[in-house]
Structure formats: structure tokens, C-alpha cells
Amino acid sequence: MDSALWATGLASAAFFVSHLGLAHPPVHDRMAGRIGEKGFQGLFLLTTLLTLGAMIASYSYASHFIYLWIPGPGLRHLPWLIMPVAFSLIAGGVLTRNPSALGMEGSLDRTDAVNGALRITRHPVMWGMTLWAAVHLIVNGDLASLLFFGGFLLTALLGSLHLDRRMAASQGERWQRFVSVTSYIPFAAMLSGRQSWSWVELRQPMAWGLGCFVLLLLLHPYLFGVRPY
């Protein structure tokens, strides 16, 4: 294994561990008590940028010819189906006031706490990242992509579960009321009848998601050196 592959794996592990480690309540509380909440947020952002930069740099130099599986011709077009959904979830998470986001816990007391993409899942950004990482890992099939996209995949999946536990511990019954009408797995609350689809609330995230997908599709060869079509 070349040094760039080792670096990709280490950077990916650092990205994953730093996200879950710094977000762990005892760690957060201890550090925020010493440097303040804004200081902690700055440290978290700096750590994210450094580990993300290391991941991107090492992945760009790593060998992409060590295949764990050979992607079949049908997989090439899989992102065309998955990425519009991923971008729509991410857009929905950005456009919707999410009670689990930092400083937005007060939204739990609103009568419209569940709206927009939260009807689909209470972690739309995390699930958008999960779909993005998973589909890119699948269609590439090489070790470098497993190390790179796998880091995002684990961070998103386990990070959202970690967030659920942290919110349950800190918000108690308020969070449980929110959980009772939402779902971790996308569309599970709708399928169980606890939520319903709303075109009025979801058309804007879907429009933004589709727009971002088309834009990234056109820019992909210039930004990442790979033509996805």
C-alpha cells in the first residue's frame, strides 16, 4: 500500500474520531467550560477543516487502481438516481429549522417543529451525506475510495445516532415527543403513518436539490477530474 493510501486512511479516521469525540457530551462540556462555547465551535470548525483538507489531499495522490470490486457498467448511472435525493435531503436540512442543530433546541416547543425534510427523517443532512458517500464508494470500487468515502459514511451514520442519544439525554421528554413523530430511517415515519408528505413544504428543497445536482454534474469534470456522464 502506498503512503498516500495510508495517509487517506489516517486522515479519514481522524475526521471520524474528531467529530464523534469532540461531540461527546463530557468532552464538549469540559472543553467548552475552559474555552467557552464559541471557542469550542471554532476549535471544532478548525479540526474539521484540517482533517477534511488532509483527506482530500491524500485521496488525490492515492492510487485508484487497487480494486476491491470491479464496478459493472450498470453502476455508472447509479448516482443519477441517488444524488438528486441526496442533494434534496441536504438542501432540506439546510432550509429547515432542525431542533437537533446547535442552538436550535427551542424549536422543540414549536407547534410546527416537524416540517419540510424533517418529515422524511430527523437527520436530513446526515442522510444526504450518507447517500452521497455510499453511492460514490459503490461506483468506484477501489481501496482509496473505500477509505475516503467510508470516513464520511461512518461519520454521518454513527454521528446521527450519537446525536439522537445526546439530545435524548439533554432534552428528555421534549426530544421524545419529537422522536415519536419523526424517524431516523428516511420515510419510516411516513410509512408508519406518523407523518405525511407535504408538497408545499418539500418542493423548495427538491428544487434546490435538483439544481445543485445539475450544477455539480456540469462542473464535476473540472472540479474533480472525472466525467460522470
Please spell the DSSP secondary structure of 89-139, one letter per residue. HHHHHHHS--TTSTT-GGGGGSTT-S-GGGGT-S-HHHHHHHHHHHHHHHH
The pLDDT value recorded for residue 201 is 93
Residues 122-144: b if buried by 16+ CB within 10 A, e if exposed: bbbbbbbbbbbbbbbbbbbbbbb
Q: Is residue 28 part of a domain?
A: yes
**Number of domains present in the structure of the chain:** 2
Query: Do residue 186 and residue 124 come from a single domain?
Result: yes
Read off the pLDDT of residues 25-53 as tens digits, 9 standing for 90 and up.
888 888 888 898 889 889 999 999 999 99
> In percent, how much of the chain has pLDDT > 90?
68
Confidence of residue 1 (pLDDT cuts 50, 70, 90): low
Q: Is residue 46 part of a domain?
A: yes
Query: Do residue 46 and residue 85 come from a single domain?
Result: no
The pLDDT value recorded for residue 191 is 94
Q: Is residue 77 part of a domain?
A: yes
Task: Tell me what the mean pLDDT of segment 129-138 comes to.
Answer: 96
Query: Do residue 58 and residue 86 come from a single domain?
Result: no
Q: Is residue 229 part of a domain?
A: no
Taking alpha carbons only, the member of 54, 67, 44, 45 closest to residue 12 is 54
Q: What is the dihedral of CA 20, 131, 115, 198, to 10 degrees?
A: -170
DSSP 187: T
Of 37 and 12, which is predicted with more confidence? 12
Task: Tell me what the mean pLDDT of segment 151-165 comes to.
Answer: 94
Query: Do residue 104 and residue 16 come from a single domain?
Result: no
Q: Which of 45, 63, 81 is the last residue of a domain?
A: 63
Residue 215's φ and ψ, nearest 5 degrees, are -65, -50
Q: Which three cell numbers stand for residue 167?
A: 439530545
Query: Do residue 38 and residue 75 come from a single domain?
Result: no
Q: Is residue 137 part of a domain?
A: yes
Task: Tell me what the mean pLDDT of segment 42-68 comes to.
Answer: 93
Q: Is residue 190 part of a domain?
A: yes
Query: Do residue 71 and residue 14 come from a single domain?
Result: no
Query: Do residue 102 and residue 175 come from a single domain?
Result: yes
Q: What is the mean pLDDT of the chain?
A: 91
Query: Do residue 99 and residue 82 come from a single domain?
Result: yes
The pLDDT value recorded for residue 26 is 85
Query: Do residue 55 and residue 96 come from a single domain?
Result: no
Query: Do residue 4 and residue 84 come from a single domain?
Result: no
Query: Do residue 30 and residue 109 come from a single domain?
Result: no
Q: Which of 10, 44, 63 is the last residue of a domain?
A: 63
Bridge partner residues of 216 (DSSP): none
Query: Do residue 117 and residue 56 come from a single domain?
Result: no
Read off the pLDDT of residues 105-123 as tens digits, 9 standing for 90 and up.
888 888 888 999 999 999 9
The pLDDT value recorded for residue 224 is 85
CA distances from 58 to 6, 44, 52, 69 (A): 9, 21, 10, 21
What range defines the domain where residue 38 resides? 1-63
CA separation for the pair 158, 129 (Å, rounded): 12
Q: Is residue 146 part of a domain?
A: yes
Q: Which of 63, 89, 107 is the last residue of a domain?
A: 63
Q: Is residue 173 part of a domain?
A: yes
Cβ proximity of 96 and 124 under 8 Å: yes
